[in-house]
Amino acid sequence: MRILFVGDIFAKPGREVLAAELPGLRRDLKLDFVVVNGENAAHGAGITGKICDDILEAGADVVTGGNHSWDQREALSFIERQPKLLRPANYPSGTPGRGAAVFQATRQRKVLVINAMGRLFMDALDCPFAALDRELSRHRLGGTVHAVIVDFHAEATSEKMAMGHYLDGRVSLCVGTHTHVPTADTMILDGGTAYQSDSGMTGDYNSVIGMEKTVPMARFARKLPTERATPAYGEGTLCGVYLETDDRTGLAARVEPLRVGGRLAPVLPVI
């Protein structure tokens, strides 16, 4: 199976480059399934129902979230009506929405997608390792599902790496989101799980992690209160991870970074 994971969509530049590039990527890479992290899609903070629909219409099969999942208050209600939108699975019991679900890919194949959030330098949520164990206990890779994709939304690379090794052999891909910078550690772990510490941001990289540069620079340089930061609105880069799985086992057969458009050096898998 050929799968694409697209990193954090950040504001209008991220939405625009996704809409422009994803249909062609689905066609040219012959993709069977696409996961997109959309927690920063609405002006850099949260997601609205319309924006979620737009991401799905562009070619995503499921949209994941993170610590900004609820920045747009309407998400608290529309997530219950949108089964293709996930939020971290380790939110407390009773939180609206769900953190994992099985979705259908091409040729009737089933893909389990799990969204979880780290705790180091993040909000104090329930244990993500226990949440992943709970979700994985309900399914078997290569058996009840053909692939398992984990979006681990976390700050610390150490926590992300620990999660990757913890899940090795049990999921097809464990990929990090949240820090908005693509990492160079794309690899297949010993047990056959594909891993990358951060998929990167889909947005304007002539910025400070998506925000217009002036206000963040002033905050760091002067250590004084400033006006609120606003998104940068230059040309966007689409960043993500391309994965091919073994149809018999569901484990990774190939994994590569993907970057299209904007300021970063382009990287596109050869099919």
User: Residue 226: is its pLDDT beyond 90?
Assistant: no
Quote the CA–CA distance of 200 and 154 in Å, as a whole number. 12
The question of whether 43 is a catalytic residue gets the answer no
Catalytic residue among 43, 68, 146, 178: 68
Q: Which of 7-11, 18-22, 121-125 has the lowest mean pLDDT?
A: 121-125
In this prediction, residue 224 has a pLDDT band, given cuts at 50, 70 and 90, of: confident
In this prediction, residue 216 has a pLDDT band, given cuts at 50, 70 and 90, of: very high
CATH superfamily of 2-260: Metallo-dependent phosphatases (3.60.21.10)
Question: Please, are residues 203 and 8 in contact by the beta-carbon 8 Å criterion?
Answer: yes
pLDDT single digits (tens) 158-202 = 999 999 999 999 999 999 999 999 999 999 999 999 999 999 999
